[in-house]
Chain A
Amino acid sequence: MALPVSGIPTAPDPTGQLPATVPGSAAGGQPGQPARHALARMGRAIRSNRKATVGTILLAIFVFAALFPGLIAKDDPGADAYQPKLGISTAHLLGTTAQGQDMWAQLVWGTRDVMIIAFVVGLAATGIAVLIGVAAAFLGGLWDGSLSLLTDVLLVIPLFPLLIIIAGYAHGGGTLVLILVITVTSWSYTARQLRSQALSLRRRDFLEAARVRGERRLYIIVVEIIPTMTSLIVAAFLTNALYAVLFASSLQFIGLGNPNTQSWGTMLYWAQNEAALQTGQPMWALAPGACIAALGAAFALLNYAFDEIGNPALRPVRRKQVKRG
């Protein structure tokens, strides 16, 4: 699956040193700032960064399509009421499938399934990642050792084959099964990132101050640390959502989802089944794939933009005349 783009090394660092840059640590910045401030700063940053703007617009389009599909596509996606294999026309914006269903309607209505998966898995996996990552960083010692080991093992075991096998045993499942299975297996990458940042925060002065004030550990974790990590948590959410979309649609594509759900992945499954490319119905395969790519790009762009916001060194440089001689 495509990797999220970030300068973070994804491996247990053999030198034992923390990575030089942890995105979000700079933007997370000011200690103890309420989450409100962080979000406001993010809003401003989004507007000023071109990548972030494009990503947000794309995402907004898909969210809208998921919430109000009926407004955009008039037909019932499941009804095979039309002549099959029609081409593009004003009546059928993308034509019809081999079973006579309107493709545009399928595409639009399928957005809902995809967005649900993206957001639920995104939230759940990020939640697990925050829990485990921050707990490992702060409990330290044996806890850290075992949680980190668990994270690393799950990170190394090839996820997609594992997903295939599990889904295979379950004889293919609907959206719920997909959500469960993907959430349980894919939190490890972001858990590592969060643990890294939490570790580096641990040594900072404002936490010493809280400890000296006598605050309990849980308070420190919830009130001081997590708001500071807001931007990395948002980045983790975007990463997990991206993975969720890619994994889910891949599983559906190879037939391990429920082929009767309306989703982009299942559209691709049917397209492959009916040899859409060979029989001159390229739209059937291209359209849902393009949507997956676009949604993925939205998440990736936002993620990349967050990297730049958090690490100013990565921002686009005005082209200066650097003489190389």
Chain B
Amino acid sequence: MRFALRRLGFFVITLWAALTLNFLLPRLMPGNPALAMLAKFHGQVGPGTLHALEVLFGVNTQQGLWSQYVTYLHHVFTLNFGPSLDFYPESVMSVIGSAIWWTLGLVGVATILAFVLGTGLGIVSAWRRGGRLDSVLPPVFVITSAIPYFWMGMVLVLIFGFTLGWLPTQGGYYVSTDSPGLNWIFFQDVLSHAVLPGLALLLTLIGTWILTMRNTMITTLAEDYVRMARAKGLPSRRIMVDYAARNAILPNLTGFAMSLGFVVGGAILIEYVFNYPGVGYMLLQAVQGEDYPLEQALFLLITVAVLVAILLADIATALLDPRTRTGG
């Protein structure tokens, strides 16, 4: 219980830190970026936008810093970011709403797959120490884990998209011909568009999981309780899963959650390379188009998503490790 409260407290603090960072950054930069943007538009923006900019960036405001902060927090918690500049007059929230599903699908599935496959391969590789799997995987994946996400994407585009022409390389679906709907054609379309970016993400992520799982597994296999399990005459599979893997996976779960921050970064780049209409792509567009309200909202969204994922991983750890539950 105390553990859960501490973690919750940590999240609240982190969330607060992200919010405050978001609030302070534009005000700290030499020359408020919003002012520059306004100048570009010659001050011709709708009233909704002006108000949003005032709250988020402190433009044109009469309020002191502290009351700005309070108003800002209020707006954030009521999810009121005002209209987006790029997609004017659509509100920031509705713009995000359309993009979020694409990212959840692509990044969510690819990450989970990478974790599951990577962990599984790592377990087997460590179990058969010195076997073929173990001698091939580690060096290969040490190298692939250093490959930048976007480059992997570009290579895949080149091979499968242009040279072989098997799969589409742009967007979430064929915008010109299809319209979203619950029909088989659209579904197929979405899938075929998701293969390459998903694969790029999967391949770059999986290396790290294989390697960290393998290493923790090797350390776990040297533990006395594994030797004890052998002494009891338990079947190999059981030892590998119940005694070794269940213990080895614990530190990796939290590591998985922590790394989600990095996964997000990689996802952004992959979406960019493939023009995939997700949250990451949108963030880049927002930054390039100086759509500040959208930018800020997306940043906060991503941060919250990562925090939630970490919370989920913590819950999973607590479920799997009795020592955390009883404060051992």
Contacts and interface: CB of A to CB of B under 8 A. Distances in A.
> Are A and B close enough to touch in the complex, i.e. CB under 8 Å?
yes
A167 B268 CA distance: 15
Contacts of B296: 165
A31 interface: no
B18 A157 contact: yes
A300 B143 contact: yes
A238 to B, nearest CB: 11
A205 interface: no
B258 A15 contact: no
A265 B307 CA distance: 30
Interface in B221-266: 222, 236, 251-252, 254-255, 257-262, 264-266
Interface in A255-284: 255-256, 268, 272, 277-278, 282
B171 interface: no
Interface string A277-320: 11000100110011011011101110010010001011011111
User: Quick one: which of A170, A249, A253 has the most chain B CB within 10 A?
Assistant: A253
Contact of A286 (B154, B218, B310): B154
A160 interface: yes
B215 A314 contact: yes
A157 B21 contact: yes
A300 B216 CA distance: 18
A289 B151 contact: yes
B253 to A, nearest CB: 8
Interface in B282-328: 283-284, 287-288, 290, 295-296, 298-299, 302-303, 306-307, 310, 313-314, 317-318, 321, 323-324, 328
Contact of A164 (B29, B259, B262, B283): B283
Interface in A26-53: 51
A15 B148 contact: no
Given A14-B321, A277-B154, A159 B262 contact: yes
A301 B321 contact: no
Contacts of A165: 25, 287, 295-296, 299
Contact of B259 (A3, A13, A166, A255): A3
Contact of B145 (A2, A51, A171, A286): A2
B17 to A, nearest CB: 5
Given A9-B255, A157-B18, A296 B147 contact: yes
A254 B146 contact: no
A14 B8 CA distance: 12
Interface stretch (A77-85, A107-115, A147-155, A225-233): A147-155
A34 to B, nearest CB: 30
A5 B208 contact: yes
A272 B272 CA distance: 10
B314 A14 contact: yes
B21 to A, nearest CB: 7
Contacts of A304: 138, 142, 211
A85 B251 CA distance: 50
A159 B259 CA distance: 11
A8 B212 CA distance: 8
Interface stretch (B103-111, B129-137, B180-188): B129-137
Contact of B268 (A51, A161, A170): A161
Interface stretch (B65-73, B80-88, B155-163): B155-163
B276 interface: no
B3 interface: yes
A194 interface: no
B318 to A, nearest CB: 7
Contacts of A6: 212, 215
A301 B143 CA distance: 7
A10 interface: yes
Contacts of A170: 29
User: Quick one: which of B138, B139, B218, B262 has the most chain A CB within 10 A?
Assistant: B262
Contact of B265 (A7, A156, A160, A272): A160
A158 B306 contact: yes
B277 interface: no
B26 interface: yes
28 contacts: A1-B266, A2-B147, A3-B212, A7-B215, A7-B219, A8-B251, A9-B252, A9-B254, A11-B258, A15-B321, A153-B14, A155-B258, A156-B258, A157-B303, A160-B262, A160-B268, A161-B265, A161-B302, A164-B268, A171-B36, A250-B149, A255-B288, A285-B158, A286-B155, A289-B154, A292-B151, A293-B143, A300-B146
Interface of A: 1-3, 5-15, 19-21, 51, 149, 152-153, 155-162, 164-171, 242, 246, 249-250, 253-256, 268, 272, 277-278, 282, 285-286, 289-290, 292-293, 295-297, 299-301, 304, 307, 311, 313-314, 316-320, 324
Interface of B: 3, 7, 10, 13-14, 17-18, 21, 25-26, 29, 33, 36, 129-131, 135, 138-139, 142-143, 145-151, 154-155, 157-158, 161-162, 204, 207-208, 211-212, 215-216, 218-220, 222, 236, 251-252, 254-255, 257-262, 264-266, 268-269, 272-273, 283-284, 287-288, 290, 295-296, 298-299, 302-303, 306-307, 310, 313-314, 317-318, 321, 323-324, 328
Q: Report, nearest first, the 4 A-B pairs whose CB atoms are least far apart.
A: A160-B265, A296-B146, A11-B254, A9-B251
Given A165-B296, A300-B142, 19 more contacts: A1-B149, A7-B212, A14-B3, A156-B307, A157-B306, A165-B25, A171-B36, A249-B148, A250-B269, A254-B284, A285-B154, A293-B148, A297-B142, A301-B142, A304-B211, A313-B219, A313-B222, A319-B131, A320-B130
